[in-house]
Amino acid sequence: MGVFASVGKDVCSFFKHLSAGRSGVRRITQFDPSSLCVQIAAEVPDYQPTEYFSPKRLDLLDRFTQFSLLGAREAMNSSGLEIPEQERARFGVVIGSGMGGAQGLDEGYLKLYQEQATRLHPFTIPRIMHNAPVSQVCMEYSAQGPSFATATACSSSGHAIGEAFHLVKFGLADTMLAGGTDAPITYGMMRSWESVRVLAAGNSEPSRACRPFSADREGMVIGEGAAIVVLEEMEHAQRRGAEIWAEISGFGMTADAGHITQPTIDGPARAIRAALEEARVNPEQVDYINAHGTGTRLNDALETAIIKEVFKEHARNIPISSTKSMHGHVMGATGAVELAATVLAIRHGVIPPTANYTTADPECDLDYVPNEARERSVRVAISNSFAFGGLNAVLLVRQIQ
């Protein structure tokens, strides 16, 4: 795996900070946020692109593509994977993004409408298109197999990883790089999200702004970053002596077909059941749920009801946490970032907490692992992603026996 996020620029530091309950939320530094009502976000701190890429290459890379390449770099390096030329046609890439090249769009519109430019950067389109990360990662690692981008808002990387899993499972690929990336912290995007009225202000104490499942929750915090995983067919990995972190064995995806912004109970519940069914896992076998847990009034109460609907009485026995309380809502990358947290919980036997939890909510009455990580063996876990537009993705992962 590779992670590049507000709470860590690699897998080790990412999980270290999550386990300690440290938040990556701070005042925005990428532009002057003084005129915004909400001036905080979960930014990747002290990020200097020229430390990672040459100026010439940066000409082609929007910020969200940079993050995807850095996540893929760590994933490939840690995997020890080398794809011989004859296997490249069975090596593919699927990466999700909810917002695409948000920075390039913002810069382009600024030049067009404020500065009255008549000509934009010649690489504007190749930089902002949703498939830019996929194409750049394919070129970086000579991946010539099934490759595409997914764009399903907050479920984008859940769908990306789930579809890559199925490509391997059903014999269309041997190896895949999959995950998500987003860099939506721009003036235009923040103004757009302000208008939806779901953001936590937290201007006085940014690190405590996102409080999922807590009675005093105020809303979500926008984040940025990327997470990429290497997926291999099991025997392929074993033959090369790979270190296997976990096994994806179930994926569920559904549509609510209801409201454009308000989720239902039925749609997400069907996605969880589909993941359980594919993995041939009973609800009582699930040891941990990494919740979608945005910190909004509506989402957290509904997700609690969804979990109760699927798991019945066992719902009260399952530790549930929202790591968004620390890394923010990474939009299209959030499913991949949270899958990384889920896999690391399995690997280390440590469940990351829901940070900033203060007061119990009668509508959210399950075990949300408040504020402190919990040591516990995790054999089976699920990671939920529920998107605007009612498109749901649920990944089930299990410990390697």
- Active-site residue list: 154, 292, 329
Please name the amino acid found at residue 401. Answer: Q
| Distance of alpha carbon 224 from alpha carbon 180, whole angstroms | 10
Six-digit token pair at 395? Answer: 């990944």
- Residue with token string 């391997």: 168
- Total H helices, total E strands in the chain: 13, 14
Residue 38 CB partners (closer than 8 Å, separation 6+): 190, 193, 194, 199, 200, 201, 202, 203
Task: Please report, for residues 56, 101, 133, 171, 323, the alpha-carbon distance to residue 231 in angstroms, rounded to integers and kept in the order given.
Answer: 31, 26, 17, 13, 23
Helix (H, G, I), strand (E, B) or coil at 178: strand
Pair 255, 388: CB distance under 8 Å: no
Q: Are 299 and 363 in contact (CB under 8 A)?
A: no
> To which H or E segment does residue 255 belong?
strand 247-255
Tokens of 104: 């390039």
At residue 70, what is the residue type?
L
Burial of 369 (0-12, 13-18, 19+ CB in 10 A): buried
First to last CA, the chain: 19
Which among 166, 369, 393, 152 has a CA at the least distance from the CA of 270?
393
